[in-house]
Structure 1
Amino acid sequence: MDKENYTAWDSAEFLTDDDIIIEYLKAALEENDPAFFMKAIGNVARSKGMSTIAQETHLGRPSLYKALSGERDPRIGTVMKVLAALGIQLTIAPRQA
């Protein structure tokens, strides 16, 4: 029997368009899981280049990888800096029933 080889899935490879990125983050936020959402932001940051995001936020790359891993609970200031560097803003709206 032949052994099959698989390539690891990396969603960052498919986040190539701003509209796709926005829909991806909206869907992640709808999961209502902060860790899942942070991981999604991390995937978007990787798609844009973590070095670029680190420079724009004045945060170290290792710190960003940790903060956006979904395994940490980053400060809201960090999240806001990353989103700003990505050209994304969060908005507040009434919850839909």
Structure 2
Amino acid sequence: MAIETKPWDAAEYLDTPEDVAAYLDAYLEDGSADEIRAALGTIARSHGMTALSKETGITREALYKALGEKGNPTLDTLLKVTKALGLRLAITA
């Protein structure tokens, strides 16, 4: 009897702002630019791309493109997305 498995998707488990902040913080700590972009994409999917599009004023297609596998979001997109997700970027020493 074969074991049934399904792909694990972190987006299904990012339920609270605290979960989202901890998830992104882990990638910001030592992740590459591609890993951070992918984490933002996962967070965006957990929030819902349609809702995020309405909150940021960025089209769904542009969000998918910027946060997708070959994306390279601008600082403006990054700031709009994090603000819409209830997050704030900070730099500490």
Return the TM-score normalized by structure 2.
0.90
Q: Which runs of 4+ in 1 moved over 3 A?
A: none
CA contact (8 A) 2:53 2:63 kept: yes
Q: Which moved more, 1:46-55 or 1:29-38?
A: 29-38
Tell me the equivalent position of 1:87: 86
Counting only pairs closer than 5 Å after superposition, residues 1-97 of structure 1 correspond to structure 2 as 2-94=1-93
> Conserved in 1, the CA contact under 8 Å of 2:17 and 2:86?
no
RMSD: 1.3
Question: Letter of the aligned partner of 1:10 in structure 2?
Answer: D
- Structure 2, unmatched stretches of 5+, are none
> Structure 1: which 5+ runs fail to align?
none
Q: Which has the higher helix share?
A: 2
Q: Give the Å deviation of 1:64.
A: 0.5
Q: What is the aligned residue count?
A: 93
The CA deviation string for residues 11-31 of structure 1, in whole angstroms up to 9 with x for no partner, is 100000111111111001112
Which structure is larger by alpha-carbon Rg, 1 or 2? 1
Q: Is the 8 A contact 1:42 1:69 kept in 2?
A: yes
Amino acid at match of 1:69: G
Question: For each residue in 1:8-55, what CA deviation from the matched residue of structure 2 results, as whole angstroms up to 9, or x when unmatched?
Answer: 111100000111111111001112311111111111111111101001
1:11–1:43 CA contact under 8 A, matched in 2: yes
